[in-house]
Amino acid sequence: MPIRGLLFDVDDTLFDSGSEAASVLAYLRMRGLLDRFGDSAAALGLWRELKERHYARFLNGELTFAAQQRERTRELLARIGTSTEGGLSDQEASAWFAGYQTHRHATRAPFPDAEPALRKLAPGFRLGVVSNSSTDHQRRKLDGIGLLPYFGDRLICSDQHGAAKPAASIFLAGCTALGLQPHEVAYIGDNYETDAVGAHRAGLHGFWLDRANTNAAGVDTGVRVIHSLDELQAALT
Ligand SMILES: [Mg+2]
């Protein structure tokens, strides 16, 4: 049976989070905090360390999406010695992070191949999103970069679903949102294990978007590799 539906990862697949570094540095500079770090690399290193650690706590259900943002803010400011004793209140931490997000939204961008690929694929396939994130957050992001109309309300995110990729259940929920069986659906994502292998194990067609052309993972049988979304339509047939 042919592929009739496509589910996409968002970050680093449709949305270029590479612009995050510039946003982080600009926000820290604007807040007068950048000179607290040895250099830009140290600032980005700490930002990424805290994001990775506290986002993992969100993904395993320990923290809400908003709470991981507050924890990152509290620890960042404590580590550079600017927060008051006892740390920031929830309100202060949320306000600080909201300032960053406002700044970030202004510089958001999709990958140049994302919109043209979706426009080409939309007439022939049902399209949706499966993401390890908050539904509201990803809806706003996709709206901000102009891609939301391609997906409508077919956004399955781990916060509402209750489990994160590579759990099979979240891929299957995506298929249900499209009204299709797993073998009729392809999943496209930039993370080999979490996206492509996870989808493949759940019974979908797993496509690994290897933008950096690393091919490093030693691709499993059953996982297809593309290097750009421009290649997707041809790879589906
Ligand atoms: Mg991704």
Q: What is the pLDDT of residues 33-68, one digit of tens each?
A: 999 998 999 999 999 999 999 999 999 999 999 999
Residues 6+ apart with CB under 8 A from 134: 65, 157, 159
Give the 3-state secondary structure of residue 236.
Answer: helix
Cα-to-centroid distance, 32 and ligand 1 (Å): 31
Q: So what's the pLDDT on residue 84?
A: 67
Position 174 confidence tier, pLDDT thresholds 50, 70, 90: very high
Cα-to-centroid distance, 195 and ligand 1 (Å): 8
Report pTM: 0.84
pLDDT above 70 (res 217):
no
- 129-170: per-residue pLDDT in tens? 999 999 999 999 999 999 999 999 999 999 999 999 999 999
CATH code linked to domain 5-16+109-235: 3.40.50.1000
Q: So what's the pLDDT on residue 184?
A: 98
Q: So what's the pLDDT on residue 82?
A: 85
Helix 90-105 vs helix 65-79: crossing angle, to nearest 10: 100
Dihedral of alpha carbons 78, 81, 87, 90, sign: negative
Higher pLDDT, 222 or 97: 97
Q: How far apart are the first and last CA of the chain?
A: 11
Higher pLDDT, 220 or 35: 35
Cα-to-centroid distance, 191 and ligand 1 (Å): 6
Cα-to-centroid distance, 17 and ligand 1 (Å): 9
- Locus of tokens 């803010």: 73
- 106-135: per-residue pLDDT in tens? 878 899 999 999 999 999 999 999 999 999
pLDDT above 70 (res 218):
no
Cα-to-centroid distance, 226 and ligand 1 (Å): 14
pLDDT above 70 (res 216):
no
CA 28 to CA 43: how far, in whole Å?
A: 9
- 60-93: per-residue pLDDT in tens? 999 999 999 999 999 999 999 887 656 899 999 9
pLDDT above 80 (res 19):
no
Give yes or no on whether 5-16+109-235 and 18-106 have one common fold: no
| Token couple for 233 | 């339509």
Q: So what's the pLDDT on residue 98?
A: 96
Cα-to-centroid distance, 11 and ligand 1 (Å): 4
Domain ranges of the chain: 5-16+109-235, 18-106
Cα-to-centroid distance, 75 and ligand 1 (Å): 25
18-106 under CATH 3.30.460, yes or no: no
Cα-to-centroid distance, 8 and ligand 1 (Å): 9
The mean pLDDT value for 193-198 works out to 96
Ion ligand 1 residue ranges (Cβ < 5 Å): 9, 11-12, 190
Sheet holding 185-189, edge to edge: 155-157, 126-131, 5-8, 185-189, 205-209, 223-226
pLDDT above 80 (res 25):
yes
